Structure 1
Amino acid sequence: MWRSGWRTRGVLWRLSGRSASLGAWRWASTTACERALLRYRVGEKIHGFTVSQVTSVPELTLTAVKLSHDSTGAQHLHLAREDRNNLFSVQFRTAPADSSGAPHVLEHTVLCGSQRYPCRDPFFKMLNRSLSTFMNAFTASDYTLYPFSTQNPKDFQNLLSVYLDAAFFPCLRELDFCQEGWRLEHEDPSDPQTPLVFKGVVFNEMKGAFTDNERIFSQHVQSRLLPDHTYSVVSGGDPLCIPDLTWEQLRQFHATHYHPSNARFFTYGNFPLEQHLKQIHEEALSKFQRIKPRTAVPAQKPWDKPREFQVTCAPDSLAAGSSEQTTISVSFLLPDGPNSPFYKALIESGLGTDFSPDVGYNGCTREAYFSVGLQGIAEKDIQTVRDLVDRTLDDIIEKGFEDDRIEALLHKIEIQMKHQSVSFGLALTSYIASCWNHDGDPVELLKLGSQVARFRKCLEENPKFLQEKVKQYFKNNQHKLTLSMKPDDKYSEKQMQLETEKLKQKVNSLSPEDKQQIYEKGLELQAQQSQPQDASCLPALKVSDIEPRIPFTEVEVALAAGDTPVQYCTQPTNGVIYFRAFSSLNTLPEELRPYVPLFCNVLTKLGCGGLDYRELAQQVDLKTGGLAATPHVLPDDSHLDTYEQGVLFSSFCLDRNLPDMMHLWSEIFNNPCFDEEEHFRVLVKMTAQELSNGVPDAGHLYASIRAGRMLVPAGDLQETFGGMDQVRLMKSVAEMTDIKPILRKLPRIKKHLLNCDNFRCSVNATPQQMSQVENSVDSFLRTLSRSKKERKPAPPHVVEKPAPKGPGRHSLVTRKLVTDPTFKPCPMKTHFLFPFPVNYVAECIRTAPYAAPAHASLKILARLMTAKFLHTEIREKGGAYGGGARLSYGGIFTLYSYRDPHSTETLQSFLKAIDWAKSGRFTQQDINEAKLSVFAAVDAPVAPSDKGLDCFLYGLSDEVKQAHREQLFAVRHEDLVDVSNRYLGAGRSTHGVALLGPDNASIAKDPSWVIR
């Protein structure tokens, strides 16, 4: 996977779109941390390593142990912490010299087989032989990272063995390079008369990546701000340059970069360090001698005057305003690598729709940089934006920052240190990767508490400390880049023409012997991809290694403020209180439903009570970890045609701030500000821009939502809330000259949503906090309006479903579900036309709900079809970046592909996959591996903040989950064949298909397709 730089904003970071902030489990035992502090001494020798530092990091409840390998110089950092979800990673400094994508293609190819594990694709095969909680690999701008995590000690050793052998002793076979990187091959490999074309997984991945205009812009910022060395090229590979990479160059890149002397090892969790070091030394490092890796990235020479450039991109058909699609940013290189006035100056100017990509601090390169700008502006406003940036800097230097703004940011650091993430180790390794890669001290980076203390001291000693830094880093900084990007109607056509010319050049240089060799190699690769692989050399867990029972989560439900059910879940939340509320949408008029996502998005951003939107944002940052509202469509566990619809309100805070947080919710519910027309317009444009930007990266999800639209009653609402219909609606709203009619819809939605009718709450906190929580929640609920005191009868389309009883629970939460006994599923095919060079394909099939025994069989079958058929057909043979099958909780079985050069051919592969499943051509070993993979997801760690959430949202008791678990264990070969025939075969009349991608002649001629 290519990441064009992992963003780190100060000491806060984001991982895969979700908050992955550091948190300390102070409530849990800290024995691993304490053991490490007592056990290790500087100078101690352990399995070929020498301890160089042992440091307590109390704010994160961990002990850091730094070591170096005696014979190779490899560095190792172990973070001992009482966390069962242990993580390993190894990273190499991989600074490319060109845009051929050598580090990215190598990342893919080393995972295709190694000396000890020579079978094809051991990485993907281990997904089915493991209970891993995470497995992947990432290529950043100047390093490559290989992480995995698991809660099982035996699994950790198995995965470590595979990762070590892959990294240090890969086969690097030529055919694997051709499959994963690029190759010339006949369109039909078995027919030499068909034209030669470019193929390859990375080639198609990067074509897909650069359909995203935000990525194009971010890459240009980095390349032009740091032009003197490796950052001037594309580490993931430019599709026009990838065909210049040779197999020999790839092997040479591995030899010079994947050496222990250029490696940094990282382990985290409560497993013994000694076992890790012993295995790393014996299986890998003992076989090498120290070298001097010449991989260091030199400092960028500072400029003596600012520079500016303009680049082009494809027009965005989903963006609001065809004449306002220019992006501009001003970026500053920070000389020693160490908001929001810019929001006020830029976003509120109304010139653009949202901040430009990569806005803020970026620490993913040797020298950090800071960018600020706008997207969605008119080209004529470029100079205006530049002037606004300069004027804002002058204002900051003159007036400084408000004290509350600084305190809000420091509070954000404090609460994110306490907020717990299930991917704590992964967050840590990604957080320190760039600093460590350039020989910075990763342990110092983790001492967030002392960094905050130093910062406060600097402010105390010099009240103008920040103003001086702004003057130094920005105002007086000559290393300043102004980059603008405007759409070019011919951009995609020009890119296609360049690729065509590249292909023509390659083909014209071939001799008849070369062409014959290409044909033979294509047949050889096809034969290899079709040949069954013996994976018996790979280590594997057994189904018997899976825990037979789940740990039950105790929750209690009580009535507050008279009749509102509140679920209380006592957890080790480290002094943080998590509050959620769910409000039904059952009474909302149909014409208002499409605007619910917009209502949710703006509700906490428009101001409330006596606070304008700026003051509200300040209070949210000062007193909470954020306030959010999101629409939800929750399927029933027993009936496909029944679902719950509503909005989930969620927030968390430090215990000292609970009264303030609940007061903010009370003001938002009772006195929201719906008369800020200009700011509402700004938020609408930002929302539309974010949705538009997200389509190229999540096309398979949009295709899946559309394909399932007509299969269950909930499908249409899911499309309305989160599908392409919502993207296009927001585009049209953002283009309105008069937005008042939309603004007037908000109070109407509020009337149905922000009251105590059909309302329930949930709180996760420590036992010591619960009495305070009960009082605060009760007080909050008593401020809310309600229709009438007497209980109103449910509407005719609504059925009431009490929550099941269980240990520690009372059956007080009644869910009001929507049902439609007249619903008839119907097939639907939709092609969304986009100027993408790749496709996103999905086919959905109506099957069985969660509680049905068939659901367990279908879940195993989805994993089996992915691992044993679809991966080979869609990724290896087809060249798509990804593809597979999955089963939703609501009973929709989805076959999908991602960044796929094919479309109709992929739909044929889906048919073949179903025929394969119906034929039962899989073994008991295949089934066992699929079960392991499914249980790895079922048993994924759950954060204390999310414990009991399934019960709260879905009414899903631990007893029902345990029954489903036993059904998964019991799945047999005949069950899989049965559900294949019953649902995927004969039941295929209830299916839907959707495709996002370029024009397709065969689809255009087929009247069964709807072209959008």
Structure 2
Amino acid sequence: MIRQCKAGLLLSRALFANSWRWKASSASERALNYKPGQVIHGFTVKEVTPVSEFFITAVKLDHENTGAQFLHLARDDSDNLFSVQFRTTPMDSTGVPHILEHTVLAGSEKYPCRDPFFKMQNRSLATFMNAFTASDYTMYPFSTQNPKDFQNLLSVYLDAVFFPFLRELDFWQEGWRLEHENPTDPNSPLMFKGVVFNEMKGVMTDNQRVYLQRLQNKVLPEGTYSFVSGGDPLDIPNLTWEQLKHFHATHYHPSNARFLTYGDIPLEQHLQQINDDALAKFKRINPQADVSAQKHWDAPREYQTTCAVDALAPDPTKQTMVSITFLTTEITDVFEVLTLNLLSSLLVVGPNSPFYKALLEAKLGTALSPGTGFSAGTKDTFFSFGVQGVAEDNVKHVKEIIIKTIEEVVQKGFEPERIEAVLHTQEIEMKNQTTGFGMKLADYISTSWNHDVDPVDDLLKLEEKINRFRQSIKENPTFLQEKVKQYFQNNLHSMVLTMSPDKEYNQKEAELEKEKLNQKVKALSEADRKNIYEKGLELLRFQTEQLDASCLPSLKVSDIEKTIPLTELEFAYAAGDVPIQYCAQPTNGMVYFRAISSLNTLPEELKPYVPLFCSVLTKMGCGVYNYREQAQQIDLTTGGMSVSPLVASDDSNLDNYEQGVHFSSSCLDRNTPDMMHLWSEIFNSPHFDDEERLHVLVKSSAQDLSNAVPDAGQVFAQLRAARTLTPAGELQELFTGMDQVKIMKRIAEMTDLGSVLRKLSRIRKYVLLSDNMRCSLNATPQQMSVASKEVEHFLGGIQRNKKVQKTVRPHIVEVLDA
């Protein structure tokens, strides 16, 4: 890790040290003492299973009185995590699970305080707090490194989900209501208001998310997946307060709950608190929330839909999205799910995949369509092949190319080296166990566990499934081709979905909302209107009153460790004067390399092109490798190689900041020489001479930026607002804000990118130099010596400045120490 400031280094050290603590008597070892049949605070132990891949002992339990399922993942990690999830299966698009997720956080029996998450932020040391509404479940996770804080947060979460107030005023505020435009003026027009109502109106302006929602609704038209779990703005006003309370009573019940805890806090503490504070107050029920399987079609189907025009699209005349989607397997068939995941990487990921070549490099579109690849977020999984940025008159050709490419894959199969690269990526994912690992596991488990897949034997024991896959390939060389034929060529449950822009889309949506509003208003009596006005005033008082947050638990100074555990660091110099920070850690056989190269000497006219330089540097080819070979080598020998712009402010002086380029990669320790060789080739011989390749990358990058604006509008607004406050804010807007969106759109519209290639070559001469750099290396103590020699060899082999270059902006200073 590279420190960004002294305080940041201390925090990074603490996080890293705590995340990898491994004691003689570890949490995982202690958990092995539990025995099946043992009863602990109302829970019965069902299984105790070591999972060597993740240094975990998994303990599965059931709560006797309610049937609640419990999974404890004991691991020597002080960043302890809790989550509780409920299967929430809406049967309409009123958004009841989404509105309920908001409303339970508006006050509970023990904590009558609105928005406890927000108010706990300055009373807690939580490393994560949130809640999620998926298509068929709702999840409430948090994590913290402080045991007392864990108890506090657990108390708040349990009371929120099991004993919320669910007041009518909370429903009106969080869900929807009719209210005067000016609540204090009864003569002002009535309108729809509500947090979730407005949130989903925003979601439905994002073409990417609209397409994904329509795709799921159409390919799974029977049952819960045909509805919008987040809520359709036109349907949300159909939800009543009584329906919300009924949904909570039947779905937010321990009999429908799955609890997960992770980390090094003893299991008994969790079980006692969860039982005493919540579960002991319930009896078992049948929640009747099962999801039925989708009936397979006997013929393909085709649908068309519309969306708003994207003013930031790389090509305004090409804004259609089209895909072909196939129903695949149920999520309960874990080996088929793994196979389809691996197929997804082979078919659609990276420049060596057949659909990347057939759709993007053939310039049929600017980027793959939303949802392309394997989707396993529902009980019935599906697989899509598609592209966006298509000319409307080219849709038929795209469909033909997709079918043709499937046929070619069935005939030719995949190169063994590509299969090995995908399997290597899986191995990296298992080994790469960094901070926040508990949340990653909870997220990975949640969807399948929701449909009663065994979270331990079926999900955590990945190595067994990978070995079975390897054996299947070995025994049957056409194994993957047969899967492609089964799921895509001979599958009648297939769907073509086309979405094209409509200039009047927003106006039509506004008219539909107005029509819905008029229907509601016309049905009102004079008494209803009076009640709406009075309730509006009541809600206004309710929203503005100062509530006492003292009911919420808080940490005391005595609850916090007086000292911060520090990680041992070593500092050295290589290639003369390049600083290197070494940090030996039990990294599970992984090596992590980081570097920062200064931009202080880069001419101002090249600054706007730095983000593009970073995004294409590892994708254009280098040294003896063309871009396809480079991508293959990265997949075969590393866990990824990333390059990104860096802007780091000095908190003690906001006029000072560091500007640079951040290089990052990881690999299995056996591949360290290969990883550093790739960096050497990238630094010494990057390919900036392939204009056709750059065209593809620029179009894709511009499309990604355009797609990001509606999804993260608040981020772009914040960057825009901050650009005049500090020099760092100005540069951050140029690198990642709307300025960069406009720059990339302009570049994407250029027919000749020769001038851009020349600018990228010029940037290289300022950035890819050893005397502008500092590095860090993390590896196991056993591998540090070998890894450090490879890094030193890399630094000794890259170019240096032949002459001292003048810093172009004197007020920019280095604030990061080596």
Q: TM-score when scaled to structure 1? A: 0.75
Which amino acid is 1:254 matched to?
H
Given the alignment of the two structures, is residue 178 of structure 1 paired with residue 190 of structure 2, yes or no?
Answer: no
Which amino acid is 1:735 matched to?
E
Q: How does 1:883-898 map to 2 (within 5 A)?
A: none
**Of 675, 686, 710, which aligns to 1:661?**
675
Given the alignment of the two structures, is residue 389 of structure 1 paired with residue 402 of structure 2, yes or no?
Answer: yes
| Structure 1 position 144, deviation (Å) | 0.7
- 2:26 corresponds in structure 1 to 31
- CA contact under 8 A between 1:88 and 1:267: conserved in structure 2? yes
**Of 424, 428, 431, which aligns to 2:437?**
424
Q: How does 1:224-623 map to 2 (within 5 A)?
A: 224-337=218-331, 338=337, 339=346, 340-443=353-456, 444-623=458-637
CA distance in 2, matches of 1:751, 1:626: 24
| Secondary structure at 1:574 match in 2 | coil
Q: What count of residue pairs does the alignment treat as equivalent? A: 781
Q: How does 1:762-841 map to 2 (within 5 A)?
A: 762-788=776-802, 792=804, 794-795=806-807, 797-798=809-810, 818=812
CA distance in 1, matches of 2:276, 2:726: 55
- 2:769 corresponds in structure 1 to 755
- CA contact under 8 A between 1:132 and 1:149: conserved in structure 2? yes
Q: Deviations over 1:667-703 (max 9, x none)?
A: 1111111122111101000100111111112212211
| Structure 1 position 640, deviation (Å) | 2.5
Given the alignment of the two structures, is residue 955 of structure 1 paired with residue 811 of structure 2, yes or no?
Answer: no
Given the alignment of the two structures, is residue 211 of structure 1 paired with residue 225 of structure 2, yes or no?
Answer: no
**Of 701, 715, 719, which aligns to 1:687?**
701
**Of 58, 72, 91, which aligns to 2:66?**
72
- CA contact under 8 A between 1:27 and 1:573: conserved in structure 2? no
- CA contact under 8 A between 2:72 and 2:262: conserved in structure 1? yes
CA distance in 1, matches of 2:148, 2:651: 34
Q: Deviations over 1:399-433 (max 9, x none)?
A: 11111111111111111111123211111111111
| Structure 1 position 541, deviation (Å) | 1.4
Q: Deviations over 1:775-804 (max 9, x none)?
A: 11121112211222x7x3743744xxxxxx
| Pair 1:759–1:124, CA change in 2 (3 A) | closer
| Structure 1 position 637, deviation (Å) | 4.2
Q: Deviations over 1:802-861 (max 9, x none)?
A: xxxxxxxxxxxxxxx726xxxxxxxxxxxxxxxxxxxxxxxxxxxxxxxxxxxxxxxxxx
**Of 692, 703, 709, which aligns to 2:723?**
709
CA distance in 1, matches of 2:393, 2:271: 60
- CA contact under 8 A between 1:29 and 1:82: conserved in structure 2? no
CA distance in 1, matches of 2:808, 2:764: 23
| Secondary structure at 1:255 match in 2 | helix
Higher mean C-alpha deviation, range 546-555 or range 705-714: 546-555
- 2:340 corresponds in structure 1 to none
Given the alignment of the two structures, is residue 116 of structure 1 paired with residue 110 of structure 2, yes or no?
Answer: yes
| Structure 1 position 130, deviation (Å) | 1.8
| Pair 1:470–1:447, CA change in 2 (3 A) | same
| Structure 1 position 442, deviation (Å) | 1.1
CA distance in 1, matches of 2:196, 2:23: 43
Which amino acid is 1:469 matched to?
K
| Structure 1 position 25, deviation (Å) | 5.2
- CA contact under 8 A between 1:49 and 1:67: conserved in structure 2? yes
| Secondary structure at 2:329 match in 1 | coil
Q: Deviations over 1:48-73 (max 9, x none)?
A: 11111111110011011111111211
| Secondary structure at 1:600 match in 2 | helix
Which amino acid is 1:399 matched to?
K
| Secondary structure at 2:184 match in 1 | coil
- 1:149 corresponds in structure 2 to 143
- CA contact under 8 A between 2:658 and 2:816: conserved in structure 1? no
- 2:162 corresponds in structure 1 to 168
- CA contact under 8 A between 1:207 and 1:239: conserved in structure 2? yes
| Structure 1 position 635, deviation (Å) | 2.1
| Secondary structure at 2:550 match in 1 | coil
- CA contact under 8 A between 1:90 and 1:264: conserved in structure 2? yes
| Structure 1 position 122, deviation (Å) | 3.0
| Pair 1:270–1:500, CA change in 2 (3 A) | same
| Structure 1 position 538, deviation (Å) | 2.4
| Structure 1 position 956, deviation (Å) | 5.8
CA distance in 1, matches of 2:808, 2:282: 74
| Secondary structure at 2:683 match in 1 | helix
Higher mean C-alpha deviation, range 378-387 or range 488-497: 378-387
Which amino acid is 2:554 matched to?
A
| Pair 1:541–1:55, CA change in 2 (3 A) | same
- 1:676 corresponds in structure 2 to 690
| Structure 1 position 572, deviation (Å) | 2.4
| Secondary structure at 2:389 match in 1 | strand
CA distance in 2, matches of 1:87, 1:670: 44
| Pair 1:653–1:214, CA change in 2 (3 A) | same
- CA contact under 8 A between 1:186 and 1:519: conserved in structure 2? yes
- 1:976 corresponds in structure 2 to none
| Structure 1 position 152, deviation (Å) | 1.5
| Structure 1 position 662, deviation (Å) | 0.7
| Secondary structure at 1:768 match in 2 | coil
Higher mean C-alpha deviation, range 389-398 or range 220-229: 389-398
- 2:92 corresponds in structure 1 to 98
CA distance in 2, matches of 1:436, 1:171: 29
| Secondary structure at 1:526 match in 2 | helix
CA distance in 2, matches of 1:407, 1:590: 44
| Structure 1 position 142, deviation (Å) | 0.4
- CA contact under 8 A between 1:577 and 1:653: conserved in structure 2? yes
CA distance in 2, matches of 1:706, 1:552: 37
- 1:10 corresponds in structure 2 to none
| Structure 1 position 954, deviation (Å) | 4.4
| Structure 1 position 545, deviation (Å) | 2.6
Which amino acid is 1:514 matched to?
D
CA distance in 1, matches of 2:527, 2:751: 64
Given the alignment of the two structures, is residue 58 of structure 1 paired with residue 38 of structure 2, yes or no?
Answer: no
Which amino acid is 1:305 matched to?
A
| Secondary structure at 1:457 match in 2 | helix
| Pair 1:796–1:321, CA change in 2 (3 A) | closer
CA distance in 1, matches of 2:486, 2:809: 64
Q: Deviations over 1:875-911 (max 9, x none)?
A: xxxxxxxxxxxxxxxxxxxxxxxxxxxxxxxxxxxxx
- 1:865 corresponds in structure 2 to none
| Secondary structure at 1:105 match in 2 | helix
- CA contact under 8 A between 2:365 and 2:389: conserved in structure 1? yes
Higher mean C-alpha deviation, range 712-721 or range 422-431: 712-721
| Secondary structure at 2:782 match in 1 | helix
| Secondary structure at 1:719 match in 2 | helix
CA distance in 2, matches of 1:145, 1:694: 25
Q: TM-score when scaled to structure 2? A: 0.93
- 2:76 corresponds in structure 1 to 82
- CA contact under 8 A between 1:24 and 1:59: conserved in structure 2? no
CA distance in 2, matches of 1:249, 1:637: 50
- CA contact under 8 A between 1:180 and 1:201: conserved in structure 2? yes
The gaps in structure 2 that reach 5 residues or longer are: 1-17, 332-336, 338-345, 347-352
